[in-house]
Amino acid sequence: MNDPSELSPLDSKQESAESKLDTAPETSESDVKSSHTKQRIIIYGVLLAFTIFALNDYRLRTSWEQESQVLFSTLTHSKGLPQKESDPVALKMMQQGQGVDSWLEDRGYSLDESRSGFKIKVFFKSSGLRSYWLIVDYHAGGSRENPFLTTLNVTQQSYYFWTPKPAPLENSRGAGGANNDGGGGEGAPSDNATMQGGGTPISGPGMSSGNREGGQRGGNGQRRNFNPEDRFKELDTNGDEMLTDEEFGDRLRDNLERFDSNGDMEVTKQEFMDAMEAILAATRASRAGNNGGEGGAGGPNGPGQSGGSGDGGGLFDVPDDPGETGDEDPNRLPESKAVTP
CATH of residue 265: 1.10.238.10
Interval 221-259: pLDDT, tens: 444 566 777 777 877 777 788 877 777 766 666 666 677
Domain end residue (candidates: 288, 314, 333): 288
- Cβ of 58: how many Cβ atoms within 10 Å? 12
Q: 71-109 pLDDT, tens per residue?
A: 999 988 888 888 888 999 999 999 888 889 999 999 999
CA dihedral 105, 107, 108, 109 (to 10 degrees): -50
Percentage of the chain exceeding pLDDT 90? 11
- Residue 336 resides in a domain: no
Per residue in 212-226, is it b (16+ CB within 10 Å) or e — as a string?
A: beeeebeebbbbeee
Contact (Cβ atoms closer than 8 angstroms) between residue 138 and residue 99: yes
Q: Is residue 29 part of a domain?
A: no
User: Where a domain ends, among 160, 180, 206?
Assistant: 160
Q: What pTM did the predictor assign?
A: 0.44
* 116, 137, 160 - which closes a domain: 160
Q: Would residue 331 count as lying in a domain?
A: no
**Judgement on whether residues 73 and 156 belong to the same structural domain of the protein:** yes
Domain extent, residue 136, equals: 54-160
Domain count, the chain: 2
